[in-house]
Structure 1
Amino acid sequence: MKKIFLVTVLSVLLCGHNSLYAASVIKKVAPSFWWASMNNPELQVLLYGEQISSADVSISSDDIVLQEVVKQDNPNYLLLYLNTSEAAPQTFDICLKQGKKQTVIPYELKQRRADAAQIEGFNSSDVLYLIMPDRFANGDASNDVIPGMLEDRVDRNDSFARHGGDFKGIEQHLDYIADLGVTSVWLNPIQENDMQGGSYHGYAITDYYQADRRFGSNEEFRTLVEQAHSKGLKIVMDMIFNHCGSENYLFKDMPSKDWFNFKGNYVQTTFKTATQSDPYASDYEKKIAVDGWFTQSMPDFNQRNRHVATYLIQSSIWWIEYAGINGIRQDTHPYADFDMMARWCKAVNDEYPRFNIVGETWLGNNVLISYWQKNSPLAHPRNSYLPTVMDFPLMDHMNKAFDEETTDGYGGLSRLHEYLSQDIVFADPMHLLTFLDNHDTSRFYRSEADTKNLDRYKQALAFLLTTRGIPQIYYGTEILMAADKANGDGLLRCDFPGGWQNDTHNYFDAANRTALQNEAFSYLKKLLQWRKGNEVIAKGKLKHFSPRQGVYAYERKHGDQSVVVFLNGTDREQTIDLSAYQEILPRTSARNVLEGKEVEIGKELTLSHRGVCVLSF
């Protein structure tokens, strides 16, 4: 059953009363606890219960100030704003008095961890491994179906249904993930999605403070984070502020109609979020794009409502403080209110200066996504305060570049050279999330039937892991999982073979993988392990040359160390004259990273068709 707060009759002497009366049933207290000594001392506590708005509110604490009691149109809500600036860790009582009826809600301010504010976010030294929890591994079959939840079945033959993956399944494979060489795990949403169907993906949240119990409890999620940290892995949590699920109690029994756009009535977004940066966009088009709903089952929050904004901001800070996550990926970032999202980014950074947030900025070119990055001159005098944006345009270029034959100045790898040469539009190119694919796109690897595909795969991963930015790998990339978006999103999110006890194949184990899969796995692992802790790649400046004879060359340099990469973008063996590249070839010998040996640098370099050469000086 859903977890609700049943506030029983207690001794109410602490509230200044000396009688006992029947208590109200409080269904929600959000958040259910908080912490003392936060940088922002203001705390919003949302109370949800039958006809509670008429209550007189008091608190039993001597060092917490009840600043404001806000009633909503719906009598089932009260919003309390508390000032905790002088408060020590404690448990105090929130007291509601309605005539002779009195309700006491014990509330705890916890002691913060000493290093809580110093959580280390993900950055360009990291590689993120993206997992959809329902589709990775099932470690606890007992939570596959939770009585009372609306979607009450597991069917692995239905790509739209839940499959049973959970926190335990991920935890049981943390060694596999760490051994691969990635340093961070980005989880698609783990919060409750108590919806009628399609809840597996997690993007229709019905309780912002509750992990989906089919993945596990809040405590089990925190344990997963702790276990990941013990293995040197960071955790990035997917969040959604633009919209929630239609079964969310905040929508089903709205505090007031202005909690949602268009007063809670469905109006479809146009998905044309470039209107936010368009200097010529009409007010009408801006409103429909930003205030319109993503789908009818995902009502759009009115983030201009200060109570909504505070509720969402606090929910993210609660998860950071509670679970110790290292980053947030914010879904549909440009669909939300610019000013509110900027306020959120700043609030998180004020509490956790080393934390990182990446926004999903699915826009068509680098100018449009650069607008959303912190300190962008294109948005000035506005500032999004969003540290990292997703480089979707580069993904598009990579999905074409490694297919095409590269000619000098056109097509193939020339696409990458030309795109990167425009990085001047970004406030911070190193804070771009780079990727070949994710849970919303066709997988980069196609099929074993395409004989050129492994060469394409190897070149693309070498580029992804050596160019600027923060790389992300989609789970299953290492074992050549393939899927086309044209066949439906569910198939893009296939189960990892071996994550379920009755699976025919267990690809977590090298002994069960094909020779081709093991070749791909070993190649990616070699690159990832080499990249880990490599400051040249994490911090180095980028210098590149326009492709010659179809070969793209570039350098990453940090201090007196450098890495030089040569990519042959043709289907022919190429022998290139190295005289033009002397400025990035500081010595006559280097370590060939992929071959694992020292090599002499002569006057020429020969590359096989679609070949890759990574030299470390």
Structure 2
Amino acid sequence: MKKQLFLFCTSFVFFLASCEKKETQVSTNDNKRTVKEVYEVDRVEPPNWWVGFENSQVQLLIKHPNIGKAELTIEYPGVVIEKLHKAKSPNYLFVDLNISNKTKPGTFDLIFKLENGEEKIHTYELKAREKEADKYVGFNSSDVIYLITPDRYVNGNPNNDIFEDLNEKKINRKDDYARHGGDITGITNHLDYIADMGFTAIWSSPLLINDMKQGSYHGYAMTDYYKVDPRFGTLDEYRKLADEGRKRGIKLIMDQVANHCGLYHWWMKDLPFEDWLNYQKNYEDNIEDWNWKKTKFSNHRRTANQDVYASEIDKEGLTDGWFVEAMPDLNQRNPYMATYIIQNSIWWIETLGLGGIRQDTYPYPDKEFMAKWAGAIMKEYPNFNIVGEEWSYNPLLIGYWQQGKVNKDGYNSNLRSSMDFAMQSLVVQALNEEESWDKGLVKIYEGLANDFAYYNPKDIMVFPDNHDMSRIFTQLKGDVHKTKMALSYYLMMPRTPQIYYGTEILMDDFKKPGDHGLIRTDFPGGWDGDAVNAFTGKGLTAAQKDMQMFLKKLLNYRKSSKAMHDGKTIHFAPRGGLYVLFRMYEDEVVAIILNKSDRTSVSTEMMKEIGIKGKKVKNIITDEEMIWEGELKINPKGVTLLTTKRN
């Protein structure tokens, strides 16, 4: 009897489990629905959406064997199927949905009837937006951004270091190009350090999965645009990083890539259209048999975007060529790809509550698409910000991409910020030139004078270095004083500054300047057993501690300085190895004096137009006070930072 009862109960449990997989309970009396989650379709992207967007449409990518010929039904108030689009591959279906502004959050079933009569169900959710669109405030000139390579920052959870089902399994901190184990939890655990240093935003290089066979640590070869790399953590941990950062006044900037994906992206084994990628005709079903000899790589002629004389072959060579052989080039002229990329960006903004996007390799994708992409985001989030990577030393090329710039070809990017590689380089050149003090400093002076090329200079992002170039301490040949001069100037300019992790402790790449693996060295103290710990100060040299405190003092002053955020800028042409720049906002005046000479004082007479004669000023770093008149005490061969602000 007990055996029969056990068999009955077991069968009943399996029966209930089977029913739960298929059962859909619906109550529409008050537009509330109870739908048990069912996922019988391989992939639906975006995996969820929200009600209340300006754009009422969303396009779903459905991936499942022979789904292309399926019929689809949806029964949910306010949701209408506008059109079904078949792809070249029978395993894709693109579905245009319209979501009215009266639609309520909830879940509903996508019910697919396949050609063979089989039925597949996928439960889909429309979420309520957590905050209003204008509450998504992007980074701006009041922020200082801390750039982190997450694999090299802190290993907060050693349990997620290795996943046997991924292509790259090894952890080897002795190999600069292997994974080292840094993760999202590591960043979250050290948000207090970042906030105490005075940073107000974090830009992390990509955290989405890179299931590549090698070099997966850097993150720029995504193999799934909706999945966090499990070696970095989970989506919940990513969300926690954003939430905990906001509690500390830190915005989260997401590094995104619209130009290319990773060679092992899930769709590479079954591309939906013949033009999903650029130069796709060279593609073979087996990724390993890709005909590399026929693949065309980018010519990297970034000026082709602005050049009124550019040939069509040069334009095509820039946008259609692959960046590197491991990163297939996405064709944004395919309308389904275009929509996919736009929706993916919006999905991440909404999911994480982002404070900005940094878009990689900005000049390489189709530029008309990039304007559409940025415009779609800014339409939904009017106070948001996006910075595009334009690696150019010509201010005319940098300024071309900034929203509001009147370009000869009529192009408007809808982009607020671009990256200032021009001033980054000029500051280094100026400080390294020894033959003539003024000659070097004039490069900075005249470089800043090029700001007339920018629609809004303070929205341009400037930086001493980043994850793709030698560290600033290396560029300045290991000179601590010049490094302080450079950092101070980048932070004083009418710009939005970014600092790379480790700059605060003079990290370098002297052993092999420019080597990417070395540039992205582990942050000391991020791993158990590290002999040096930059978070606590253990093992740091006197010079490293001094630089850390110098930058901390300056960053925390800048955090509340209206003059440095939004102030008027006046600078004086270099004289005798001295260059002086002022930022002014109401009663606050901040001065930076770069001194390449041995002089220990400067006459205030030539700067009388600033109007602070006789006023008390304070050294931002040392807190020493003095009166602004006559000869003013300054640091020889270094930087002096002064303010009229009292606290």
Which deviates the most, 599-608 or 64-73? 599-608
Q: Aligned pair 1:275/2:304, yes or no? A: yes
1:567 to 584, 589, 594: 594
Q: Aligned pair 1:111/2:138, yes or no? A: no
Maintained 8 Å contact 2:437/2:596? no
The change in CA–CA distance for 1:135 and 1:194 in structure 2 (over 3 A counts) is: same
Structure 2: which amino acid aligns with 1:234? K
Q: Aligned pair 1:49/2:64, yes or no? A: yes
Q: TM-score w.r.t. structure 1 length?
A: 0.94
CA distance in 1, matches of 2:475, 2:347: 43
Maintained 8 Å contact 1:191/1:205? yes
The change in CA–CA distance for 1:488 and 1:510 in structure 2 (over 3 A counts) is: same
- Residue-by-residue CA offset, 1:308-331 (whole Å, 9 max, x unaligned): 111001111101101111000000
1:62 to 77, 88, 94: 77
Q: Name the SS of the counterpart of 1:546 in structure 2.
A: strand
1:337 to 357, 363, 366: 366
C-alpha displacement at 1:27, in angstroms?
2.1
Report matched runs for 1:547-558 at 5 Å: 547-558=574-585
Q: Aligned pair 1:466/2:492, yes or no? A: yes
1:211 to 215, 225, 228: 228
1:246 to 263, 284, 289: 263
1:94 to 102, 110, 126: 110
Q: Name the SS of the counterpart of 2:275 in structure 1.
A: helix
Which deviates the most, 334-343 or 499-508? 499-508
Q: Name the SS of the counterpart of 1:402 in structure 2.
A: helix
Q: Name the SS of the counterpart of 2:22 in structure 1.
A: coil
Report matched runs for 1:517-556 at 5 Å: 517-556=544-583
Structure 1: which amino acid aligns with 2:624? K
Task: Give the equivalent residue in structure 1 for 2:289.
Answer: none
Q: Name the SS of the counterpart of 2:492 in structure 1.
A: coil
- Residue-by-residue CA offset, 1:159-215 (whole Å, 9 max, x unaligned): 111111001111111111111111111100011111111010000011111111110
Q: Aligned pair 1:198/2:225, yes or no? A: no
CA distance in 1, matches of 2:56, 2:435: 57
- Residue-by-residue CA offset, 1:71-90 (whole Å, 9 max, x unaligned): 10001111111000242112
Which deviates the most, 469-478 or 146-155? 146-155
CA distance in 1, matches of 2:213, 2:181: 16
Maintained 8 Å contact 2:275/2:331? yes
C-alpha displacement at 1:487, in angstroms?
5.5
Q: Aligned pair 1:374/2:391, yes or no? A: no
Q: TM-score w.r.t. structure 2 length?
A: 0.90
Task: Give the equivalent residue in structure 2 for 1:145.
Answer: 162
Task: Give the equivalent residue in structure 2 for 1:591.
Answer: 618
Maintained 8 Å contact 1:140/1:169? yes
1:360 to 389, 393, 412: 389
CA distance in 1, matches of 2:409, 2:636: 46
Maintained 8 Å contact 2:399/2:455? yes
CA distance in 2, matches of 1:530, 1:207: 41
Report matched runs for 1:99-498 at 5 Å: 99-263=116-280, 265=282, 266-378=295-407, 380-405=409-434, 407=436, 410=439, 412-446=440-474, 453-484=479-510, 486=513, 488-498=515-525
CA distance in 2, matches of 1:107, 1:254: 24
Structure 1: which amino acid aligns with 2:315? K
Q: Name the SS of the counterpart of 2:337 in structure 1.
A: helix
Segments of structure 2 that go 5 or more residues without pairing to the other structure are 1-17, 27-37, 283-294
Maintained 8 Å contact 1:37/1:88? no
Task: Give the equivalent residue in structure 1 for 2:97.
Answer: 82
Segments of structure 1 that go 5 or more residues without pairing to the other structure are 1-5, 15-22
Maintained 8 Å contact 1:204/1:243? yes
- Residue-by-residue CA offset, 1:444-502 (whole Å, 9 max, x unaligned): 11399x6x711011111111111110111100001110015646211110110110112
C-alpha displacement at 1:567, in angstroms?
1.1
Q: Name the SS of the counterpart of 1:348 in structure 2.
A: helix
Structure 1: which amino acid aligns with 2:501? Y
C-alpha displacement at 1:304, in angstroms?
0.9
CA distance in 2, matches of 1:447, 1:270: 27
CA distance in 1, matches of 2:122, 2:385: 35
Q: Name the SS of the counterpart of 2:640 in structure 1.
A: strand
- Residue-by-residue CA offset, 1:533-563 (whole Å, 9 max, x unaligned): 2111100011111101110011111123211
The change in CA–CA distance for 1:13 and 1:584 in structure 2 (over 3 A counts) is: closer
The change in CA–CA distance for 1:7 and 1:244 in structure 2 (over 3 A counts) is: farther
Maintained 8 Å contact 1:7/1:104? no
Maintained 8 Å contact 1:8/1:103? no
The change in CA–CA distance for 1:319 and 1:456 in structure 2 (over 3 A counts) is: same
The change in CA–CA distance for 1:316 and 1:406 in structure 2 (over 3 A counts) is: farther
Q: Name the SS of the counterpart of 1:145 in structure 2.
A: coil
Q: Name the SS of the counterpart of 1:298 in structure 2.
A: coil
Structure 1: which amino acid aligns with 2:544? Q
Maintained 8 Å contact 1:242/1:335? yes
C-alpha displacement at 1:100, in angstroms?
2.1
Q: Name the SS of the counterpart of 1:207 in structure 2.
A: coil
C-alpha displacement at 1:289, in angstroms?
0.9
* Percentage of pairs with the same residue: 41
Q: Aligned pair 1:10/2:22, yes or no? A: yes
Structure 2: which amino acid aligns with 1:135? R
Maintained 8 Å contact 2:39/2:123? no
Q: Name the SS of the counterpart of 2:608 in structure 1.
A: helix
Maintained 8 Å contact 2:41/2:121? no
Task: Give the equivalent residue in structure 2 for 1:33.
Answer: 48
Maintained 8 Å contact 2:76/2:108? yes
The change in CA–CA distance for 1:13 and 1:96 in structure 2 (over 3 A counts) is: farther
Maintained 8 Å contact 2:161/2:231? yes
- Residue-by-residue CA offset, 1:406-426 (whole Å, 9 max, x unaligned): 84752x221110011111111
Maintained 8 Å contact 1:406/1:413? no
How many residues align? The count is: 601
Maintained 8 Å contact 2:438/2:578? no
Structure 1: which amino acid aligns with 2:111? C
CA distance in 1, matches of 2:143, 2:25: 54
CA distance in 2, matches of 1:581, 1:117: 42
Determine which structure has more spread, i.e. the larger CA radius of gyration: 2
Structure 1: which amino acid aligns with 2:153? F
CA distance in 2, matches of 1:603, 1:180: 35
Maintained 8 Å contact 2:634/2:640? yes
